[in-house]
């Protein structure tokens, strides 16, 4: 097995994967192009056989399994997308695989893994994060001598992910100015970035992470791999505490800039992609588009490729996506209001505090006997974020006792 990585491995993988992975379209996006004054193309890996690019790396690694390794079976850990790639590979290559996934993995991804792997895949739900699931998978790999298929820190996996870059150049037939890539463990940006830099040295590789899982950003800043203390798992496709050290050794040479975007911004772009283009992206799949505002001054007049990395999104998550988007845009706020328990206090709040377009979306209140005042939890949605300060002024003018809940408040985190 190779312990190093080179660009020829990507070309070899590209030929080997023809007929296995789908050549996903590279589509010009008029709306984004007009917004940023650039030529913006979307590389639609959400349309892959397993709805993400992860099949490329997983299958490329698995095709090197020896007969003895196939007999013992394989094991992997994944937040969902790598698991689907491995499950597909297990069924295609007739290899038994045990797939460890975090307990909080969306149901839709779990069902897809089982459907793709069929009798060849066994799912184990373990831990609350990818890293915890990975430890369990490693233990099984060592105790039963089963081959571990790493999701990102393996030269053959990196080469497989690099075939996304090879496809972009085949489809484009010219060098893009910018390629914007979501970053989790680092395998995709390492493989794609190395290939594009070898073929198009002028191309800028932009990595994107969510605020709650900015492992590559932190590591590049420190000059070494940094393990995060905590990870926000909302953008589950890239929620990794520790990026791959091998992937990092490549990525640090090819990434021109890292952009970190809030999870709420990712939600805003997920909704926009659906409403504007009919694209159902998972959170990680919207990361590259969510980074464009940060790049706006640089990409004007340039050719930009954004990788839509996956579309494995559970529809039951959309209420949370909408909520996070509204909060990020400053359109949704929560208050603890201490109401006087005399008759008419609530009516006065509705008539004199709320503006004509302010809407109450949550109201929790229980009257307490023998008390002059009682607290109420109120959620208010605004039509424009500029309407918040006038609302606060009206509430103060009424002499109301209230607290605007901040994002670090335990109650706020409970609500969101």
Among residues 98, 127, 148, the one where a domain terminates is 148
Q: Token pair of 108, please?
A: 């839709």
**Is the distance from CB of 161 to CB of 287 less than 8 angstroms?**
no
Residue 1 in any domain: the answer is: no
On whether both 227 and 308 belong to a single domain, the answer is yes
Q: Is residue 153 part of a domain?
A: no
CA nearest to 389, candidates 330, 309, 305: 330
Q: Place 370 in a pLDDT band, splitting at 50, 70 and 90.
A: low
Please check whether residue 238 lies inside any domain of the structure: yes
User: pLDDT tens-digit profile of 235-290?
Assistant: 988 989 999 999 999 999 999 999 999 999 999 999 999 999 999 999 999 999 99
Active site residue: 52, 78, 141, 309, which one? 309
More confident residue, 316 or 257: 257
61 & 42 share domain = no
Both 346 and 366 in one domain: the answer is: yes
340 and 193, same domain (yes or no): no
Per-residue model confidence (pLDDT) at position 187: 97
Render pLDDT for 123-160 as a digit per residue (tens, 0 to 9). Answer: 999 988 878 889 999 999 999 999 999 999 999 999 99
Q: For residue 174, what pLDDT is reported?
A: 87
Distance in angstroms (rounded) separating the CA atoms of residues 365 and 359: 17
Question: 322 is written with which tokens?
Answer: 């909408």
Q: How far apart are CA 274 and CA 113, in angstroms?
A: 24
- Position with higher pLDDT, 371 vs 111: 111
Q: Is residue 2 part of a domain?
A: no
319 Ramachandran zone, left/alpha/beta (phi>0; psi -120 to 50): alpha
pLDDT at 207 over 80: yes
Distances (CA, A) of 261 to 5, 116, 183, 265, 349: 30, 32, 12, 7, 36
Catalytic option among 39, 43, 54, 197? 54
Which of 323, 358, 380 represents a domain boundary (last residue)?
A: 323
In this structure, the answer to whether residues 226 and 200 fall within a common structural domain is yes
**276 shares a domain with 222:** yes
In a domain, 319, yes or no: yes
Mean pLDDT of the chain: 93
For residues 245 and 41, what is the distance between their CA atoms, to the nearest angstrom?
31
More confident: 201 or 374: 201
pLDDT of 339: 83
Residues 138 and 165 in one domain: no
Residue 338: the pLDDT is 86
Task: Check if 340 is active-site.
Answer: no
**pLDDT over 60 (residue 369):** no
pLDDT at residue 372, as a whole number: 63
> Mean of the pLDDT values across residues 338-365?
86
Structural domain harbouring 95: 55-148
CB count in 10 Å sphere of residue 371: 8
| CATH number (domain holding residue 293) | 3.40.50.1100
361 with 404, same domain?
A: yes
The residue among 296, 323, 350 that closes a domain is 323
Residue 1: the pLDDT is 59
For residue 93, tell me if it sits in a domain: yes
For residues 346 and 256, the model is more confident at: 256
3-state secondary structure of 145: coil
Q: Is the same domain home to 195 and 336? A: no
CATH number at residue 360: 3.30.70.260
- Is 71 one of the annotated active-site residues of the chain? no
Q: Which residues of 234-259 are buried (b: 16+ CB within 10 A; e: fewer)?
A: bbbbbbbbbbbebbbebbbebbebbb
- Domain tally, the chain: 3
Residues 285, 337, single domain; the answer is: no
170 and 127 within one domain: no
Half-sphere exposure at residue 323, Cβ-oriented, CA atoms within 13 angstroms = 16
Residue 368 has pLDDT above 70, yes or no: no
Q: Are residues 41 and 167 in the same domain?
A: yes
Indicate the pLDDT class of residue 399, thresholds 50, 70 and 90: confident
Q: What is the pTM of this model?
A: 0.90
């Amino acid at each position: 097995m190779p312990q190093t990585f080179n660009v020829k491995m990507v070309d070899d993988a590209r030929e080997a994967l023809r007929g296995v992975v789908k050549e996903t379209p590279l589509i010009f996006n008029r709306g984004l192009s007009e917004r940023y004054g650039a030529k913006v193309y979307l590389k639609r890996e959400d349309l892959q056989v397993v709805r993400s690019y992860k099949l490329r790396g997983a299958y490329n690694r698995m095709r090197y399994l020896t007969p003895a390794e196939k007999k013992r079976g394989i094991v992997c850990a994944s937040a969902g997308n790598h698991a689907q790639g491995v499950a597909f590979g297990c069924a295609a290559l007739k290899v038994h695989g045990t797939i460890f996934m975090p307990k909080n993995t969306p149901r839709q991804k779990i069902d897809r893994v089982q459907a793709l792997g069929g009798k060849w895949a066994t799912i184990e739900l373990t831990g609350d994060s990818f890293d915890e699931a990975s430890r369990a998978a490693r233990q099984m790999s060592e105790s039963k001598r089963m081959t571990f298929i790493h999701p990102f820190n393996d030269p053959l996996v990196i080469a497989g992910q690099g075939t996304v870059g090879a496809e972009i150049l085949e489809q484009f037939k010219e060098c893009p100015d910018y390629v914007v890539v979501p970053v989790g463990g680092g395998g995709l940006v390492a493989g794609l970035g190395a290939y594009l830099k070898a073929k198009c040295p002028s191309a800028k590789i932009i990595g994107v992470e969510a605020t709650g899982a900015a492992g590559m950003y932190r590591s590049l800043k420190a000059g070494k791999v940094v393990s995060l203390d905590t990870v926000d798992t909302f953008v589950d496709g890239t929620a990794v505490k520790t990026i791959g050290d091998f992937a990092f050794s490549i990525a640090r040479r090819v990434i021109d800039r890292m952009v970190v975007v809030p999870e709420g911004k990712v939600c805003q772009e997920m909704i926009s992609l659906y409403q504007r283009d009919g694209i159902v992206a998972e959170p990680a799949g919207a990361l590259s588009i969510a980074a464009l505002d940060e790049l706006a001054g640089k990409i004007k007049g340039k050719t930009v490729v954004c990788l839509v990395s996956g579309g494995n999104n559970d529809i039951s998550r959309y209420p949370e996506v909408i909520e996070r988007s509204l909060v990020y845009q400053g359109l949704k706020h929560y208050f603890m209001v201490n109401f006087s328990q005399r008759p008419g206090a609530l009516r006065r709040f509705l008539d004199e505090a709320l503006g004509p377009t302010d809407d109450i979306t949550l109201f929790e209140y229980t009257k307490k006997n023998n008390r002059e005042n009682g607290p109420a939890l109120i959620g208010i949605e605004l039509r424009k974020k500029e309407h918040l300060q006038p609302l606060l002024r009206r509430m103060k003018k009424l002499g109301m006792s209230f607290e605007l809940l901040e994002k670090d408040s335990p109650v706020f985190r409970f609500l969101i």
